[in-house]
Amino acid sequence: MAETAKYAPINGATLYTDMKVHLSVVKTKRTVAFAYGFMFVFIVVTTFLAFSPSPNPSSPWFTNIFSLSKQEGNGGGTYRSSVFSNFFTKSSHHVEDVSGGDVVVPRSSKKNKIEQPHLDKVSPIGHKAQNNDKVGVLEKPLNSSVLSNQESSVLKNDTQSRDFDDKVGILKANESSIEGTKFAAATVNQTQSKDFDKKVGILKANESSIEGPRSAASVNQSQSKNFNDKVGILKGPKYSSEEKSANGNGEKGVVEKEASSLVNEEINGKFFEKKRDEDLVKSLLNCDFFDGNWVTDESYPLYKPGSCSLIDEQFNCFLNDRPDSGYLKMKWKPKACSLPRLNATHMLELLRGKRLAFVGDSLNRNMWESLICILKNSVKDQKKVYEEFGRHHFRTEASYSFIFEEYKCRVEFFVSPFLVQQWEVSDKKGGKKETLRLDLIGESADKYKGADIIVFNTGHWWTHEKTSLGKGYYQEGSHVHDELNVLEAFRRALTTWGRWVDAHINPRKTFALFRGYSPTHFSGGQWNSGGACDSETEPIKNDTYLTPYPSKMTVLESVFKGMKTQVSYLNITRMTDYRKDGHPSIYRKPNLTDKERRSQWRYQDCSHWCLPGVPDAWNELLYAELLVRQHQKQQEKMS
């Protein structure tokens, strides 16, 4: 009964009748039509706003109101409908902070620039980088970036910043990526950080910058690269960049590895080259350069025959139509070591800033011309090699000096066939008489004594009739000897030379050498009595045919022993004696018939040497001596 009373209608009416009374107002037709119309309009407007593209990117009402923006914070990911942000237009837009916290950035921008948030870390250096509206240079030195995109019309995709290296602002590999922006005319899928050239910015040691896409036709992907010379150098092995291919697969440090490999190869190459050179020089230290044989070497001569216009015409056998060529292909090979081929560029480096002087007779002129041709052939700008006074013939003056401008060095020749002075005295008839002052050094000594390297020689003029007879020719002081043995005169002259060297040559500054006697090869007579050598085309191969060691060179060696200054002896006598095939003989003038050649010259030249030819080998010995001296000086500095 109680339960029945609980649910009984009030005032005797039923629940149905009560509801009917209260809802009777909605039964009118006008009200029903209005309700349905309102619902239809609401659905249409809402659908239009949800799916139509935005005509004004600056108005929040025309963004995708149903899209969701993913916001990541310290605690994880939360999703907030963009509808609420549209109603609250002054709210701040949250973007991802790579340091782990949300950073607030205002939506509006006067320059329509999309800015990435600055990282919270403060630079230890304490200075700020200035903004660059064109390229978006970082405002903070270490962990900040600005993405500049003035030329784009719309930015649709959210961008994600990479993690920065704390010290140098270099993007770390495989930790984060930067998604590119979409443009109205073309879609840019992804962009990666680039190196900047001078037109777009400089990434300095404590700064990094990211340039956004600049045009609607930008490429889909770009790859990170090392800096070139225009924008900076990526220093230090611990800093590396990541290169990614178009399909997203990364190949780390490719450029660094290639650069490192090239550097290692260069270092290793220089190391082994230096070690090889050191081993070569060490092998020369205890080697007798002058005990050996001539061998054929097709890589010789050291310069192309006929290419050097500085060679005396009478020495230029190739241009004078000598028919054979075997004399050009000979190389001197010591038994105990291998002589280095004369590297002209290296020799010029050894001579940089120095003076090399040849002092002596026409055989030293032969050697001097050879070296000038070898060195000049290695210089690219031939105009920077010239004789000091512009001379091209070298037979009439007392001295000549070739300047190698690029190396600031000189290679000189001083005429002094006896090394002591040629003199004149009055004879009994009131005339002039030539003498040789055995007690006075040659007149040009003051000019060459300051040279860094001096190569002396004498010998050939001591074989002439006047000197060999020794009657009324040799003078000491005011005394002219009625007769004096030539060997004794030679010894006194060289003693005078030796004393001058001891008095004026500082061995720590000047390297003094003496080139020995070069044998002649006259057959059937002497130089003035029908001697000839024009039929010789091969060197002597049997040692029994070599001439005995000259007595004058024995005198020279005895003089060396009495000197305080050490002089290096280029003892080329024996090695040169093999080369009976190397003389100009009758090939001393071009464009002559054989008959004309034989009638042109009263005497054949079997004393001097064709160039290219034997004197080139003398200069290779000189080069080896310079290498040994350089090594010895280096060892002295180290000890």
Amino acid at 317: C
416 classed as catalytic: no
Whether residue 201 contacts residue 131, with contact meaning beta carbons closer than 8 Å, is answered with no
Please name which of 433, 425, 410 lies closest in space to residue 358, comparing C-alpha atoms. 410
Q: Which of 144, 152, 209, 362 is catalytic?
A: 362
Please name which of 140, 134, 224 lies closest in space to residue 178, comparing C-alpha atoms. 224
Token pair in block for residue 451: 């040279």
Spatial neighbors of 171 by CB under 8 A, at least 6 apart, are: 162, 163, 164, 165, 193, 208, 224, 241, 242
Backbone angles phi and psi of 315, in degrees to 5:
-100, -10
Whether residue 250 contacts residue 242, with contact meaning beta carbons closer than 8 Å, is answered with yes
**Separation CA 573–CA 291 (nearest Å):** 11
Please name which of 340, 359, 332, 316 lies closest in space to residue 577, comparing C-alpha atoms. 332
Spatial neighbors of 300 by CB under 8 A, at least 6 apart, are: 328, 329, 330, 331, 612, 616
Spatial neighbors of 470 by CB under 8 A, at least 6 apart, are: 481, 483, 484, 485, 486, 489
Question: 419 in helix, strand or coil?
Answer: coil
CA distances from 525 to 278, 520, 522, 601, 605 (A): 48, 11, 6, 15, 12
* CB burial string 612-635: b at 16+ within 10 A, e below: bbbbbbbbbbbbbbbbbeebeeee
Spatial neighbors of 615 by CB under 8 A, at least 6 apart, are: 366, 367, 369, 370, 609
Please name which of 182, 181, 146 lies closest in space to residue 164, comparing C-alpha atoms. 146
Question: 556 in helix, strand or coil?
Answer: helix
Question: 570 in helix, strand or coil?
Answer: strand
For tokens 């000890």, name the residue: 639
279 classed as catalytic: no
Query: Which residues lie across from 456 on neighbouring strands?
Result: 359, 514
Token pair in block for residue 192: 């990666």
For tokens 């050191």, name the residue: 278
Q: Which of 165, 195, 361, 605 is catalytic?
A: 605
102 classed as catalytic: no
- DSSP string of 134-195, one letter each residue: TT---SSSSS---EE-SS-S---S---PPPBPTTT-PBPTTT---BPPB-SSSB--B-----
Could you tell me the sign of the dihedral formed by the alpha carbons of 63, 67, 71, 75, in that order?
A: positive
**Separation CA 77–CA 576 (nearest Å):** 94
Active site residues: 362, 605, 608
